[in-house]
Structure 1
Amino acid sequence: MPRRALRRALAAMATAVSAVAVGLAAPTAHAAEPLTYVALGDSYSAGSGILPTDPRAPLLCLRSALNYPNVIAGRTGAALTDVTCGGAQTKDFSAAQYPGVPPQLDAVGSGTRLVTLTIGGNDNNTFIGALLACGTAGIATGGQGSPCETLYGSTFEDRIEGNTYPAVKAALQRIRAKAPAAQVAVLGYPWILPPTADPSCYAKMPIASGDVPYVRGIQARLNAVIARAARETGTTYVDFSRTSEGHDACRAAGTRWVEPLLFGTNVVPVHPNALGERRMAEQTLTALGLG
């Protein structure tokens, strides 16, 4: 073989050997592991009343496949463990809510990297108690005056301050202790009622005109103590006080995020619909800097 051709052949062999060596030495690229995400909370987290239901969920939890945790997981590719359950109170984080339904905090561990929850509305039966009491009073007066406020005064807000606030704060502390490396977001509750009475809404939400701001004030106090508990535990609070304005249960279908007590579309009334759950997910993603 001529010397020039031999040199070319040797050079080609050296290049090939070098390429193989580089290939062997290079680290193998691995796809990023999905975010480990645990969803906790009550019916506003579970999306109770929105079809289709989650086939993996206990029947009593009324968990929807379209709840905001599923929307968040779909947008981020997170590996979701959803233990949300309709009717949950803060005590159900540490004890079984129903037979065969483990304490919600059992799902949270040191490897958890994201936790979301909505909780507090069922403690002291705040939501159902206020709505039933004020709805009954509103029907009795034909929607006039403020009979519920006259009957109950500060009772609901006193219970929120005295009982719900410390319970929510303790729940957030337990979550952070179990998952110290996780981002934790506790969501407020979207507005159920407008700031003042809408006469056209009485048939759907039979609250007396003077009690509409009273009931809204109860919800505002609940959200305020949840926000305070979040600040004091280093938790992200997802605030809906502005974004859900104009999307309350008195609005038309397609605009409202929460369904009314009567003539709504959800199986469970006075709860977010599918649009509301999507908007709750989007606001949470924004607050956490995800998605």
Structure 2
Amino acid sequence: MAPIGLLRRGLVAVVAASGLFALGVPAALGDEGGDGGGGVAYVNMGDSYSAASGVLPPAPAAPPQCLQSARNWGHVLAARWDYELTDVSCGAAETRHFTEPQYPGVAPQVEALSADTDVVTMTIGGNDSGVFIGTIQACATAAALTAGTGNPCEQQNGDRFTDTISDVTYPSLVDALETVKAAAPNARVAIAGYLQILPAERGCYPVMPVASGDVPYINGIQATLNDAVRRAAEATDVTYVDVTEASQGHDACQPIGTRWVEPAIGSTNPVVVHPNALGEEAMADRAVAELG
């Protein structure tokens, strides 16, 4: 096994490249991924969780920097329902990238929407203010200094991540959802929370480089983020796709075939701490349950 310092630096590098808790980079407008034909105009938006960054194969029509997969939940849903898919999800996207270009040549995501859009899905918010990448980097660094014991990350950072979610991320989510609804006034809009990354109590250091006592701390930050997504959906009359309960027992500490999120060490995907194909299927299942 590599020294902990190397593991931590490797995780930070991958996280920085992918936007970590991010969720995807926009595909070219009009990408139907071979899933269209039903006459229902469907747009999948958002970050790396929505794009399924790291899940092979990549979506052929998507910008390569978006790390969008042909097996993300948008493609799964389009195939199930025979919807005409336009997938503009893009890894590392923030709420501001709904109205601003994320990369040169990649249009703002809302430009995929119109009065003719029937259904919209997304995950978004985890990358805003660098909250989740900041959490993982801070906690990985802290855990390396204590060999995975205690709760050094919580002691060092306290409420700063949850405060940012409440004070900055939540209003940005409301603004983003209002923008989506204005751009697609006739669409059914749904936003999903984020799959559970860690077990309820004990972690799996160093597979996930989080100190044992910081597992509840990170779970609390994730719960705050998902609650911000839920409240923003409620405030804007958008459907919230709750994945928290369904993903219990499928966290990154579980074995292959059980886990829905890949760990930092021993991942089967090149983008770590992100959903695998099973996770994307599970997100699609929850969307079906919520959307009917």
SS of residue in 2 equivalent to 1:101: coil
Map of 1:95-114 to 2, 5 A cutoff? 95-114=100-119
Q: Structure 2 counterpart of 1:233, which letter?
A: T
Pair 1:205 & 2:194 matched: no
Q: How many residues align?
A: 256
Q: Following the alignment from structure 2 to structure 1, what is the Cα–Cα distance between the partners of residues 164 and 265? A: 27
3-state SS, counterpart of residue 248 of structure 2: coil
Aligned pairs (5 A) from 1:117-128: 117-128=122-133
* 1:174 matched residue in structure 2: 179
Q: CA deviation at 1:241?
A: 1.5
Give, in angstroms, the shift of residue 89 of structure 1: 0.2
Q: Which runs of 5+ in 1 are unaligned?
A: 1-31
State the shift of 1:203 in Å.
2.2
Q: Give the 4+ runs in structure 1 shifted more than 2 A.
A: none
Pairing 1:180-259 to 2, within 5 Å after superposition: 180-198=185-203, 201-259=204-262
Shift, 1:137, TM fit: 0.4
Residues 199-236 of structure 1: CA deviation (Å, up to 9, x unaligned): xx112101111100000100000000100000010000
CA distance in 1, matches of 2:142, 2:265: 16
Letter in 2 for 1:181: N
Mapping for residues 34-45 of structure 1, pairs under 5 Å: 34-45=39-50
Q: What's the offset of the Cα at 1:33? A: 5.2
Between the aligned partners of 2:43 and 2:70, the Cα distance in structure 1 is 15
Q: Per the alignment, in what secondary structure is the counterpart of residue 75 of structure 1? A: helix
Q: Answer yes or no: is 1:75 the counterpart of 2:91.
A: no
TM-score (norm 1): 0.87
Indicate the structure (1 or 2) with the bigger Cα radius of gyration: 1
TM-score, length basis structure 2: 0.86
**Counterpart code for 2:173:** V
User: Is this contact kept in 1: 2:123–2:193, CA < 8 A?
Assistant: yes
Within 5 Å, give how 1:1-150 maps onto structure 2: 34-150=39-155
Aligned-residue offset at 1:286? 1.2
Aligned residues with identical type, % of pairs: 53
Shift of 1:90: 0.3
In the alignment, the residues of structure 2 paired with residue 122 and residue 33 of structure 1 have an alpha-carbon distance, to the nearest angstrom, of: 33
Cα drift, residue 268 of structure 1: 0.2
Q: Unaligned regions of 5+ residues in structure 2, if any?
A: 1-36
